[in-house]
């Protein structure tokens, strides 16, 4: 079949030019006579890819020298452990804003290592406001997830913590809007939603927060192992880093994070307008000011039509819009690599489907 619009929540769609370049040089990486997958991670050629990827990410995200940029494996679940292991220091308390599935999982994992204080809780309807946050002043850090993919809830502000290091999981909205890293102790993201492919997780960590893990911390869970060795203590996930490199170049060519932010607004507005203009045929459950620009969730008033909706959409090349199994309904994930045209096509289909069945 021809290329579809893939609304999967992650792994998810990649920029077509990235895929084409990867295909075209898959058997001979720039005259080496090898695939990039076959290059030693210590070769000159791969070292260039590795270092350039870090430099490009620093440039795109505005990460200054006092923050380390770490390339890791293990996904979000590994960071759920690494955050407390690296940041508790001599403390024993951390505050978590529990606002959805991912922050809840992060808090549950942290509870292995410390007392978790829940600073705010929310059933997936809105991001808690600054006024609602109750941060335990003994906390070694404050943690939140900037965009919750299951319900589609996104923060519209950076929490104020009164000097306690703030940690954000930005897996699902990284590079979709500028942010000031200086507001954070650490920002981390898995690559496979808004950036690259599965098997790569990236953190920007303020340098003075590195080096405080206990001796019992497994070597690959200690941020210092990555900081000390330029993320090359052992073999990094070279192909995933290569794809990240191509995506960075693509973002620069397209106009940088500001342009991706503009597209994210256009895409999500197209879909929320289709919901809001459907006279109740579709409805969402997230308060408007917390609606995610990345994961647009909605339900059909007549739930019996949901199966047909998914089936007909798929026939038109609009794939993977079924909602998370825990809450049902629909979810269109419209990450950085989703063309605006994909969202426009989905909105058109939604209007058409509502007209035919409303």
DSSP string covering 58-118, please? HHHHT--TTEEEEEE-SHHHHHHHHHHHHH-TT--EEEEEE-SHHHHHHHHHHTTTSEEEE
Residue 249 or residue 269: which is nearer to its own copies going by CB? Answer: 249
Q: Which of 68, 146, 193, 322 is catalytic?
A: 193
Q: How many CA atoms lie within 13 A of 182 on its CB side?
A: 4
Q: Which of 169, 188, 223, 322 is catalytic?
A: 169
Exposed, middle or buried, 130 (CB in 10 Å: 0-12/13-18/19+)?
exposed
Residue 188 or residue 272: which is nearer to its own copies going by CB? Answer: 188
* 305 token code pair: 């039509």
Residue 88 or residue 354: which is nearer to its own copies going by CB? Answer: 88
Active site residue 102: yes
Residue 78 or residue 310: which is nearer to its own copies going by CB? Answer: 78
Residue 21 or residue 269: which is nearer to its own copies going by CB? Answer: 21
**Shortest Cβ distance from residue 180 to its own copies (Å)?**
29
**Shortest Cβ distance from residue 268 to its own copies (Å)?**
20
CA distance 206 to 259: 27
Kindly report the three-state secondary structure assignment for every residue of 227-267.
HHCCCCCCCCCHHHHHHHHHHHHHHHHHCHHHHHHHHHHHH
**Shortest Cβ distance from residue 240 to its own copies (Å)?**
6
Q: Which residues contribute to the site for its own copies (CB under 8 A)?
A: 1-4, 6, 8-14, 16, 19-20, 22-23, 26-28, 31-35, 37-41, 43, 73-78, 80-82, 85, 109, 112-113, 190, 192, 197-200, 215-221, 233-240, 243, 317, 319-320
**Shortest Cβ distance from residue 129 to its own copies (Å)?**
30
Active site residue 169: yes
**Shortest Cβ distance from residue 88 to its own copies (Å)?**
13
What share of residues in the chain are helix, strand, coil (percent, to 5)?
A: 40, 15, 45
3-state secondary structure of 333: strand
3-state secondary structure of 187: strand
Residues annotated as part of the active site:
102, 169, 193
């Amino acid at each position: 079949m021809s290329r579809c619009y893939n609304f999967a929540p992650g792994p998810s769609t990649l920029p077509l030019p990235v895929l084409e370049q990867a295909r075209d040089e898959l058997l001979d990486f720039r005259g080496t006579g090898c695939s990039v997958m076959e290059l030693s991670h210590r070769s000159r050629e791969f070292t260039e890819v590795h270092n350039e990827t870090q430099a490009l990410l620093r440039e795109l995200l505005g990460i200054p020298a006092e923050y380390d940029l770490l390339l890791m494996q293990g996904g979000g679940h590994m960071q759920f452990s690494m955050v407390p292991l690296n940041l508790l220091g001599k403390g024993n308390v951390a505050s978590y804003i529990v606002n959805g599935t991912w922050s809840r999982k992060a808090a549950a994992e942290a509870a292995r290592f410390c007392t978790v204080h829940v600073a705010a809780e929310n059933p997936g309807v809105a991001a808690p406001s600054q006024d609602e946050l109750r941060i335990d002043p003994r906390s070694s850090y404050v943690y939140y997830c900037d965009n919750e993919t299951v319900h589609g809830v996104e923060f519209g502000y950076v929490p104020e913590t009164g000097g306690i290091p703030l940690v954000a999981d930005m897996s699902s909205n990284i590079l979709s809007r500028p942010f000031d890293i200086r507001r954070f102790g650490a920002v981390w993201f898995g690559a496979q939603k808004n950036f690259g492919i599965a098997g790569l997780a990236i953190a920007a960590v303020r340098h003075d927060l590195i080096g405080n893990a206990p001796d019992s911390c497994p070597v690959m869970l200690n941020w210092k192992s990555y900081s000390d060795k330029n993320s090359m203590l052992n073999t990094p996930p070279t192909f995933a880093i290569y794809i990240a490199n191509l995506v960075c170049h693509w973002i620069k060519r397209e106009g940088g994070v500001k342009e991706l932010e503009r597209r994210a607004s256009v895409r999500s507005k197209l879909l929320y307008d289709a919901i809001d203009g459907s006279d109740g045929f579709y409805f969402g459950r997230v308060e408007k000011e917390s609606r995610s620009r990345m994961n647009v969730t909605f339900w059909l008033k007549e739930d019996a039509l949901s199966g047909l909706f998914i089936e007909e959409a798929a026939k038109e090349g609009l794939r993977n819009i079924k909602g998370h199994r825990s809450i049902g309904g629909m979810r269109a994930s419209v990450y950085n690599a989703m063309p605006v045209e994909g969202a426009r096509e989905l909105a058109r289909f939604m209007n058409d489907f509502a007209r035919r069945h409303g």
